[in-house]
């Protein structure tokens, strides 16, 4: 059995994961409005992945006999000014999520909650992948000079994500 404090912290993380999905849905819509179907596809799949993260946490709470407590999901900022900016914002956001996961691990360690600590390892590893994949896109855009052609090449590449 995990502590009430840990259950509350995991519930807050569920909210953050669903917020992430919401943020990426907004970005997918922005890309679609710019006729960038490939980039839109990447963000839509990213959004779906975030809901998967939330589901993993919900399942764990249930396994530990704790209630799911759903709170309002904040509306993300939808004022995007450039396609490159979407990825900068995504990296910034994922760094915040990484910090949040690390805080959960710190709490688990403090509480000698070995089960949650082990459960969270998957998320620690996932965040490495999340940051790396977005950093890779940002680097490629920089190599391409962030101009129209670089965006179109990226759009083609991201259309392949399944």
Instruction: Report the interface residues with Fe ion, using CB under 5 A.
Output: 17, 50, 53, 130
Q: How far is residue 63's CA from residue 109's CA, in Å, rounded to a whole number?
A: 20
**Closest to 9 in 3D by CA, of 123, 92, 125, 134:** 123
The minimum distance between CB 102 and Fe ion, in angstroms, equals: 13
- Nearest to Fe ion of 50, 113 (CB atom): 50
**Residue number, 22 or 80, with CB nearest to Fe ion:** 22
Q: Assign residue 76 a region: left if phi > 0, alpha if psi is -120 to 50, beta otherwise?
A: beta
* Helices H / strands E in the chain, number of each: 5, 0
Q: Which is nearer to Fe ion, 7 or 101 (CB)?
A: 101
Cα(154)–Cα(148) distance, integer angstroms: 10
Per the CB < 8 A criterion, the answer to whether 159 and 41 are in contact is: yes
Nearer to Fe ion, 40 or 127 (CB): 127
Min CB(1)–Fe ion separation in Å: 25
């Amino acid at each position: 059995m995990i502590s009430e404090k840990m259950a509350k912290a995991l519930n807050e993380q569920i909210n953050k994961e669903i917020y992430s999905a919401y943020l990426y849905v907004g970005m997918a819509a922005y890309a679609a409005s710019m006729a960038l179907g490939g980039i839109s596809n990447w963000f839509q799949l990213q959004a779906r992945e975030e809901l998967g993260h939330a589901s993993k946490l919900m399942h764990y709470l249930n396994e530990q006999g704790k209630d799911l407590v759903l709170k309002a999901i904040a509306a993300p900022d939808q004022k995007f000014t450039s396609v490159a900016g979407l990825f900068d914002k995504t990296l910034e956001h994922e760094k915040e999520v990484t910090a949040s996961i690390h805080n959960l691990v710190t709490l688990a360690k403090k509480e000698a909650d070995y089960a949650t600590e082990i459960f969270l390892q998957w998320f620690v590893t996932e965040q490495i992948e999340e940051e790396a994949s977005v950093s890779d896109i940002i680097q490629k855009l920089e190599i391409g000079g962030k101009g129209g052609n670089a965006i179109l090449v990226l759009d083609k590449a991201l259309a392949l994500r399944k």
